[in-house]
């Protein structure tokens, strides 16, 4: 079991250059994610990223879209230091990282509203309460015409890819509270938070981008 107060940083070895961390998985998927996300974000969007990890998705997006402002966050101090180090490469577009753990009560109080909340590869590597906390707070944090964008693997009953079933078993062996989430459960908690519309983009390696909006 993992310590609730100290969630693990990642399931991979990250290279380090000063405070800057490099994630092998982010290196593999950051361009394809940025390509899709670039088409979704409205001009001048303010984005809150939950679980920014090394900060490489934030960096890639700020380089792709000079009109946006990106608020990274993570409960892990080394990850926040990495995000702040990468931020110096994009001249004010990436704000100082926030210490956000979505399992904490009231994590969203005192935050402004955002056009978009983006969260990649978190809800399966955290207790289900992390997904719930994200959905519930999104109701307040996301502007009326805004969106929540999730990236990761999902289970879809009989249609679930074998690699995602294997990943689910491996995650649960590390921490029984983790696991690849059922798409229907994720849709349900966001619908309860007012995000009734869910558009999906199929991504490489059996991942998906989910775009939640109010209908």
Applying CB under 6 A, which residues contact ligand SAM?
Answer: 7, 9-10, 23, 25-26, 50-53, 57, 74-76, 79, 100-103, 120-122, 125-126, 130
Q: How far is the CB of 125 from ligand SAM (least distance, A)?
A: 5
Residue number with CB closer to ligand SAM (109 or 159)? 109
Q: Report how far residue 174's alpha carbon sits from residue 1's, in angstroms, rounded to the nearest whole number.
A: 7
DSSP code of residue 12: S
Q: How far is the CB of 100 from ligand SAM (least distance, A)?
A: 6
Q: How far is the CB of 215 from ligand SAM (least distance, A)?
A: 27
Residue number with CB closer to ligand SAM (4 or 197)? 4
Structure tokens at 103: 């399992």
Residue number with CB closer to ligand SAM (28 or 197)? 28
In contact, 196 and 215? CB cutoff 8 Å: yes
DSSP code of residue 114: E
Q: How far is the CB of 78 from ligand SAM (least distance, A)?
A: 9
Residue recorded with tokens 């964008």: 149
Q: How far is the CB of 113 from ligand SAM (least distance, A)?
A: 19
Residue number with CB closer to ligand SAM (15 or 197)? 15
Please tell me whether residue 205 adopts helix, strand or coil conformation. Answer: helix
- Is beta strand 15-17 parallel, antiparallel or unpaired with respect to 181-182? unpaired
DSSP code of residue 42: P
Structure tokens at 144: 């009326």
Residue number with CB closer to ligand SAM (43 or 110)? 110
Within 8 A by CB and 6+ apart from 10, the residues are 23, 25, 53, 125
- What count of other Cβ atoms lies within 10 Å of the Cβ of residue 47? 24
Q: How far is the CB of 208 from ligand SAM (least distance, A)?
A: 14
Backbone phi, psi, residue 117, to 5° = -110, 130
Residue number with CB closer to ligand SAM (13 or 159)? 13
């Amino acid at each position: 079991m993992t310590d609730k107060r100290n969630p693990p940083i990642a399931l991979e070895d990250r290279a380090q250059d000063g405070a800057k961390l490099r994630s092998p998985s982010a290196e593999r998927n950051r361009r394809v994610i940025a390509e899709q996300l670039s088409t979704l974000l409205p001009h001048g969007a303010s984005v809150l990223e939950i679980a920014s990890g090394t900060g490489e998705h934030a960096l890639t997006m700020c380089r792709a879209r000079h009109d946006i402002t990106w608020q990274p966050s993570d409960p892990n101090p080394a990850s926040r230091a990495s995000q702040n180090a990468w931020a110096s490469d994009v001249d004010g577009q990436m704000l100082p990282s926030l210490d956000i753990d979505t399992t904490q009560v009231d994590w969203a109080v005192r935050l402004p509203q955002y056009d978009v909340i983006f969260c990649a590869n978190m809800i399966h590597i955290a207790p289900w309460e992390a997904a719930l906390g994200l959905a519930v707070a999104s109701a307040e944090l996301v502007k009326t015409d805004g969106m929540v964008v999730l990236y990761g693997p999902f289970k879809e009953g009989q249609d679930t890819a074998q690699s995602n079933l294997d990943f689910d078993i491996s995650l649960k062996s590390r921490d029984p509270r983790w696991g690849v989430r059922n798409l229907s459960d994720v849709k349900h908690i966001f619908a309860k938070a007012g995000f009734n519309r869910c558009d999906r983009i199929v991504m490489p390696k059996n991942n998906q981008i989910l775009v939640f909006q109010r209908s």
